[in-house]
Amino acid sequence: MDDATIEIRHLHKTFPLTRKQRKEKHTEATRLTAVNDISLTLRSGEIYGLLGPNGAGKTTTLRMLSSLIDPDSGEVLFHGQNIKDNIGEYRKRVSFLTSELKLDDFFTPDYTFHYMGELFGVSKDEILSRKKALFDKFGINDFANVQIKNLSTGMKQKASLAIALCHDPEVIIFDEPTNGLDIIASRDVENFLIDLRKEGKTIIVSTHIFSLVEKLCDRVGIIANGSLVLEGEMREVTKEKSLENVFFDLLEEGRI
Ligand SMILES: Nc1ncnc2c1ncn2[C@@H]1O[C@H](COP(=O)(O)OP(=O)(O)O)[C@@H](O)[C@H]1O
Ligand SMILES: [Mg+2]
């Protein structure tokens, strides 16, 4: 796999369970295994879809991949190098996007874009040209100087997306890309991901939406209970039946 941008190897992650959680989950165990030995490879110019139900371990996997949390064991290699060896550089080349908004209500998209660009060490000229391209693309220009608290949810989402890409990341990790978006904003985001793929970016999206994976992804990994149950090229996986049927057949076979 010499063309791999990212290799995830044997990631494990557990979380402590509180007494209340133990009761809710009817278990005596003191820890919950969120991710159980996940390995996968991401390549440039490809969208990988991590598909699974709620609680499957998608967000935890992507947070480890983004270096936001540490795995209990296992490793993430970026161009063959463990991300822990140079975490600052890795973070400059990766963007973790989620539909949960994290923009500060009191600032404007314009201000926030510049602020984040400077934080990532992007030059002034580069910030201006990237801002123009991204704000044009997402139709943010008319709202660039409106306080974020006064933007619609869809516009906030688009602004947060543009801002998360201010440093032109090579790797885009997108947790539930269209969650909470209206259909028009979802379409914009999908088209944007397709453009990013054309630029040769390395992209992984997590979702529980079959049609999103079928529409966008080149490869799919089905995750359930913290494990990758099935993985393959979309074309292969859906050769005989729809992705939804593939999933529910796995469920019937007791593999999910
Ligand atoms: N910080 C945390 N503390 C305790 N349990 C967590 C934490 N984050 C996730 N979990 C648990 O780990 C499992 C996987 O969660 P998550 O990765 O968020 O799944 P998904 O994104 O697929 O819905 C779930 O059972 C969830 O409750
Ligand atoms: Mg999640």
Q: Which ligand is nearest to the CA of 58?
A: 1
For the Cβ of 57 lying below 6 angstroms from any atom of ligand 1, the answer is yes
| Residue 220, helix vs strand vs coil | strand
Please give the angle made by the CA atoms of 82, 85 and 88, to the nearest 5 degrees: 110
Give the pLDDT of residue 235: 96
CA distance 175 to 235: 23
CA distance 254 to 193: 33
CA distance 236 to 199: 25
Give the pLDDT of residue 253: 93
For the Cβ of 34 lying below 6 angstroms from any atom of ligand 1, the answer is yes
For the Cβ of 157 lying below 6 angstroms from any atom of ligand 1, the answer is no
Q: Whose CA is nearest to atom 7 of ligand 1?
A: 15
Give the pLDDT of residue 99: 73
Task: With beta carbons less than 8 A apart as the criterion, state whether 118 and 127 touch.
Answer: yes
The letter for the amino acid at 78 is: F
* Tens digits of pLDDT across the chain (256 residues): 457 999 999 999 999 999 998 898 888 889 999 999 999 999 999 999 999 999 999 999 999 999 999 999 999 999 999 999 999 999 999 999 987 767 889 999 999 999 999 999 999 999 999 999 999 988 999 999 999 999 988 888 889 989 999 999 999 999 998 887 778 778 888 998 999 999 999 999 999 999 999 999 999 999 999 999 999 999 999 999 999 999 999 999 998 8
Give the pLDDT of residue 117: 95
For the Cβ of 15 lying below 6 angstroms from any atom of ligand 1, the answer is yes
**13, 15, 204, 256, best to mutate for ligand 1 pocket (most atoms within 8 Å of CB):** 15
| Residue 203, helix vs strand vs coil | strand
Give the pLDDT of residue 144: 97
Give the pLDDT of residue 1: 44
For the Cβ of 11 lying below 6 angstroms from any atom of ligand 1, the answer is no
Of 163, 176, 174, the closest CA to residue 119 belongs to 163
